Structure 1
């Protein structure tokens, strides 16, 4: 277990950058916060633990099931990485899935210009619960790896496949692959 106490640490600086979409996209990584994510079998790259949580051994059993790098950071550093006011003391670094349109199932959901992060996270959670694992998002939709979306998915982001496409490409794809289309509009 590595202990990091400096805000100037190279890893800490790179983790902070992931709060911005352009870095999440260029690094193909995202952060998820909360112990709920430790219940999933999607393997993280790094688990960051706040020092007081590590000392309490609160998540010890859950942490041990992962063979990834684990680091302990000071409360001050953790607060800079955290997006939550009352954090549970665990942040996980994941690689985004590299999804391929050729592997889409017959049942998929297409979301057009969803702008509210909480709404998108909730929709992703509902899709996961109802076994719709493939979600196509139009280019105008909020970033699915935004910290508010991740939090609202409550872990379901790890169970779904996300694709961002232009509207015209989505329509062409659906027609070319003979999908039956059902749509709703508010």
Structure 2
């Protein structure tokens, strides 16, 4: 019991003395998902937790895709942690890991009147693993590129690029 209490006090002391990594950032980006095979648009944020670590939520809405009368809508929510291996004045390199929730809706519009209309939707939880780069260009705008693999049923590789704005 004493060892556990001492460990907790030591960890809290360590966390309280670490410096915050940087400032809060918000941004927007374009993404491409290999499972849906389509472009999407997204928003993200980055909140520093401690030196070298930030929390980064994001949302990606993939543009609707239609093939053979089937229309697919895909929306994903992400909650990632970014760990910075390198974060100097020009470049920030980070690994990411986190949770994913993907919502997919498929609908069919039978314009020929043969089989009727239908729609179905499903939501799944998955894991994100990947990495990214921030390119500091000396202004409040921070271009970035990121690639992640979403571990979900058949999986999806997502490549994205955009800008974050320093607040």
- Under a length normalisation based on structure 1, what TM-score does the superposition of the two structures give? 0.20
Which of the two has greater helix per residue?
1
- Under a length normalisation based on structure 2, what TM-score does the superposition of the two structures give? 0.21
Which of the two has greater strand per residue?
2
Larger radius of gyration: 2
Larger relative contact order (CA 8 Å, sep ≥ 6): 1
